[in-house]
Structure 1
Amino acid sequence: MSNISTSKATKITLTDFKTVQMRTFHLSWIAFFLCFFGWFSHAPLMKSTIAPDLALTKAQTTLAFIASVGVTIFARLLIGSLCDKIGPRKSYVYLLIFGAIAVASSSFAYSWETYLLSRLAIGVIGASFVITQYHTSVMFAPNVIGIANATTAGWGNLGGGVTNAVMPLIASGVLALGLAEANAHWRIAMFVPAIIMLVVAFLYWKYTTDCPKGNYVDLPEERPQVKKGEKGLFLTAASDKRVWILFLMYAGCFGMELFVTGKASTYYQEKFGLSQESAGFIVLFFGAMNLFARSTGGWIADKFGKNSGLNGRVKILVYVVIAEGIALLLFSQMNVLGFAVASMVFFSLFVQMAEGATYSVVPFINRKALGAVSGIVGAGGNVGAVLYAQYLLRSGSSLQEAFFAFGFIVAAVGFLGLLVKFSPKEEQAAKDEQKRIEDLQKAVDNSAVTA
């Protein structure tokens, strides 16, 4: 870990809780974990509990998923710009408070219309990913930015797998304690993630800052600035074709993870006749890969970036997205439960490596418009998930048939990464920043030795 508290960190030391960089690292993934947990808290309870309680049709359950994921597209676009304006610290605290209210309020839905509105509100907290990536990007140096972004996002994404296993247990506990009647116990269960989100909002406010030097409100010069005559930050990001290519590639990886996280429990219940609890436990394996898979993608990209520059990072991204598509094809053809679980884990490995590799590239596209770039690319994942769900809804295909078709699509999208190029000037700028931070680190280390 860097000894320079006001500089970007050049190392990740997981046991360090004294520096603001590492406090931000840990609190950002914890906050994202809880947001992801709350965002998908309805998914494992849908088929056997929520749908019967509200008399929802199969089409309505799919529309609820589309609403919850689709609204995040707009939320991610907005939250990136909000980070640039008021800073990631305030942005995260406000979002956590809103998310807690939205998740808890969903328990009061008693009709299809009110339930749909509650899922729309919950979908806003999916924008938490953008804040997580923004905050670690401003806290860590280029040599570790890939693994920093990938690890915080990956450990946060784990919330999607954990909620599939834990929410049925929480709901069953509520029922066992006699706190609610059958098929209504999910309502009380929703207060559990909501309360924890409020606790983390307080911790985030108290123990993080917008950047290593402090908060934007006290250091306006640290906040991204737009000079007179320049495009706004969002327009600057949107005018770069590389941003939209990464948008599509993120639709191919994170979009697919969202879709699978939301539908895997139903898939195992329908195809293999598993119970809600058993299916949720199996889906936990899909999410559990986030413990290391996304970090692995970021770490490999950092290594290639050190030896092959920014374009080396892009090559890794291309390889893993193509591999993801092939793995999804394999998963779709498994008709034996054991093989299905094994191939799902294999597929999950490449999905999350691709996500980590994507956000090892994002911070170098446009430093000034980091929030906007992060928001646009992050929104791509939700666009992908919505399109996959729309295809399932309108085509009449089974989930197995849909997975098979999506495997080809994802593999094809992977080749688009070949169009992402960095100029020699951009390559040199990344090298110069890394050298400056390393020289500063050495100077401080030498001063500590001679003191």
Structure 2
Amino acid sequence: MKIERIGKATKIKLFSLKAPHMRTFHLAWLAFFLCFFGWFGIAPLMAVIRDEFALTKAQIGNTIIASVAITVLARLAIGFLCDKIGPRITYSALLIIGALPVMLIGLSNSYESFLFFRLAIGVIGASFVITQYHTSVMFAPNVVGTANATTAGWGNLGGGVTQMIMPLIFTAFVGLGFVSGQAWRWAMVIPGAVLILMGILYYKFTTDTPEGNISDLKKRDPLYKMRPSNAKVSFFRIAKDYRVWSLFVIYGACFGVELTINNIAAIYYKDYFALDLKTAGLIAGLFGLMNLFARTLGGFFGDKAGIKWGLKGRVYFLFAVLLAEGLALMLFSQMSILPLAIGTMILFSLFVQASEGATFSVTPFINKKAIGVVSGIVGAGGNAGAVAAGFLFKSEDLTYPEILFILGGIVVGVSFLTFLVRFSAEAELESKIEMDESLAEKARSLLEKKLPAKPEVETDPVS
């Protein structure tokens, strides 16, 4: 039996759920949003937990490292699973299993047990790789950067929203009569329960590819091969590509920095600007809220640069926004007046998230036969960067502003690694042909909508 071929989407129809592309788009970003909410739900409550467990600065640094460390390995593994069993089952399983430590962190009764659960929660950070993989499968080259950036950016938004919402949930439990030591524990049950519900919805309403689920397609056609494919490209072959590791470090300098800021922003504003927990959380949340559009802008302009200048245009744009991110972070670190600190933080947030979007406007073109593995390695770089930054924050000799300034300088240096990400003339030509086909398909689709429908013509049956 032949399989009906449904191509990749050449445009993003935000208000449509008819096609599998857009159902996947919306469920992917929502799933990632909830993963982020659960992943960093504990961060804005750290001031309360610090007092309860009498945590030192070094111990808080260890919890920051733990929250992102295991995600490095999880992202590498999850990319492989996406290639092998498809994103639908992989995502559904991750959501449901990852919800358990989110809810169970309330069982912590010491620094050691809290550290263990903080480590376990980090597994759900691998959801990013599935999100990028799934949208890469569903969308054509002319919009894949925008699609990847938007789903990831709106998902990252969960890191900002949780800074605002979790203190309110905590306060609500206190209002119900719970003491603070009980309130933060019950508050973490909420995001865990929602993650389980999301896992069920993702399994029910998404498909692995535009044509359907991999298992069904193989049953209907034993010769069917998933378009981004995988089986013939080993992990080790991908690991030999220096461009992948360049992007690994680059993503560590943008997403790794974002993860770090998500972990320390609330406590930073509370300690250095003498704010209460709710106010500090609201201001810290502004950093994450920029994901509403900032990461999308990175992917969008990456696509535009790709349309005009080819793959090298995507790389040059990535360099520009990454350099701007580093400079903006250095500026933010020097602000001691609250309004100026907020303003420069928002500017920095714009560039850090645009850099993330720009990174994943390049990543799908490194090796189209192993999108999952490449995305997994690059995505793991983000968490590796956060782990490295976490060691800086453990230092008793450096203040947070000094650490942020150093971190900004590192990002400036890393921005020059973008020039190692090069593509052959053949790859540039192949990309141009595929881009032209995508643009032509988009133009045909627009033209068909504008043309009047052809009248039906009745014909006599042949006797």
For 1:328 and 1:430, locate their aligned partners in 2 and report how far apart those are by CA, in whole Å.
Answer: 34
Query: Deviations 1:302-352 (Å, cap 9, x if unpaired)?
Result: 111001001000000000000001101110111100000000000000000
In structure 2, do the counterparts of structure 1 residues 441 and 115 end up closer, same or farther at CA, with 3 Å as the change threshold? Answer: same
For 1:147 and 1:436, locate their aligned partners in 2 and report how far apart those are by CA, in whole Å.
Answer: 18
Give the counterpart letter for 1:416 in structure 2.
Answer: L
- Structure-2 residue corresponding to 1:214: 212
Deviation at 1:52, TM superposition (A): 2.2
In structure 2, do the counterparts of structure 1 residues 446 and 236 end up closer, same or farther at CA, with 3 Å as the change threshold? Answer: same
CA contact (8 A) 2:71 2:126 kept: yes
Per mean C-alpha deviation after superposition, the further-off stretch among 386-395 and 336-345 is: 386-395
* 3-state DSSP of counterpart to 1:222: coil
- 1:70-81 matches, within 5 Å, as 70-81=69-80
For 1:243 and 1:33, locate their aligned partners in 2 and report how far apart those are by CA, in whole Å.
Answer: 26
For 2:264 and 2:64, locate their aligned partners in 1 and report how far apart those are by CA, in whole Å.
Answer: 9
- Structure-2 residue corresponding to 1:197: 195
Deviation at 1:442, TM superposition (A): 6.3
Query: Deviations 1:167-200 (Å, cap 9, x if unpaired)?
Result: 010011011012x222321111011111111111
TM-score, structure 2 length as denominator? 0.92
CA contact (8 A) 1:5 1:19 kept: no
Which 5+ residue runs of structure 2 have no aligned equivalent? 219-223, 457-463
Deviation at 1:51, TM superposition (A): 2.1
- Structure-1 residue corresponding to 2:59: 60
For 1:441 and 1:407, locate their aligned partners in 2 and report how far apart those are by CA, in whole Å.
Answer: 41
For 1:155 and 1:414, locate their aligned partners in 2 and report how far apart those are by CA, in whole Å.
Answer: 24
Give the counterpart letter for 1:339 in structure 2.
Answer: L
Give the counterpart letter for 1:85 in structure 2.
Answer: K
For 1:389 and 1:440, locate their aligned partners in 2 and report how far apart those are by CA, in whole Å.
Answer: 47
Query: Deviations 1:390-441 (Å, cap 9, x if unpaired)?
Result: 0221363111000111111101100110111111111122222234445556
- Structure-2 residue corresponding to 1:226: 231
- Structure-1 residue corresponding to 2:99: 100
- Structure-1 residue corresponding to 2:435: 434
* 3-state DSSP of counterpart to 2:254: helix
Deviation at 1:112, TM superposition (A): 2.0
Query: Deviations 1:61-102 (Å, cap 9, x if unpaired)?
Result: 221111111110001111111100110111110010012111
For 1:212 and 1:99, locate their aligned partners in 2 and report how far apart those are by CA, in whole Å.
Answer: 27
Q: When the two structures are aligned, how many residues end up with a matched partner? A: 442
- Structure-1 residue corresponding to 2:265: 264
For 1:336 and 1:441, locate their aligned partners in 2 and report how far apart those are by CA, in whole Å.
Answer: 49
For 1:166 and 1:159, locate their aligned partners in 2 and report how far apart those are by CA, in whole Å.
Answer: 10
CA contact (8 A) 1:154 1:290 kept: yes
- Structure-1 residue corresponding to 2:280: 279
Which 5+ residue runs of structure 1 have no aligned equivalent? none
TM-score, structure 1 length as denominator? 0.95
For 2:39 and 2:392, locate their aligned partners in 1 and report how far apart those are by CA, in whole Å.
Answer: 22
CA contact (8 A) 1:76 1:378 kept: yes
Per mean C-alpha deviation after superposition, the further-off stretch among 15-24 and 181-190 is: 181-190
* 3-state DSSP of counterpart to 2:394: helix
- Structure-2 residue corresponding to 1:328: 329
Query: Deviations 1:233-274 (Å, cap 9, x if unpaired)?
Result: x11221111101111111111111111111011111111111
Give the counterpart letter for 1:213 in structure 2.
Answer: E
Identity of aligned residues (%): 52
CA contact (8 A) 2:60 2:394 kept: no
Give the counterpart letter for 2:372 in structure 1.
Answer: G
**Bigger Rg over Cα:** 2
* 3-state DSSP of counterpart to 2:33: helix
For 1:53 and 1:26, locate their aligned partners in 2 and report how far apart those are by CA, in whole Å.
Answer: 39
Give the counterpart letter for 2:86 in structure 1.
Answer: G
RMSD after superposition: 1.7
- Structure-2 residue corresponding to 1:338: 339
- Structure-1 residue corresponding to 2:13: 13
For 1:333 and 1:113, locate their aligned partners in 2 and report how far apart those are by CA, in whole Å.
Answer: 34
- Structure-2 residue corresponding to 1:34: 34
For 1:293 and 1:73, locate their aligned partners in 2 and report how far apart those are by CA, in whole Å.
Answer: 24
* 3-state DSSP of counterpart to 1:347: helix
- 1:34-183 matches, within 5 Å, as 34-47=34-47, 49-178=48-177, 180-183=178-181
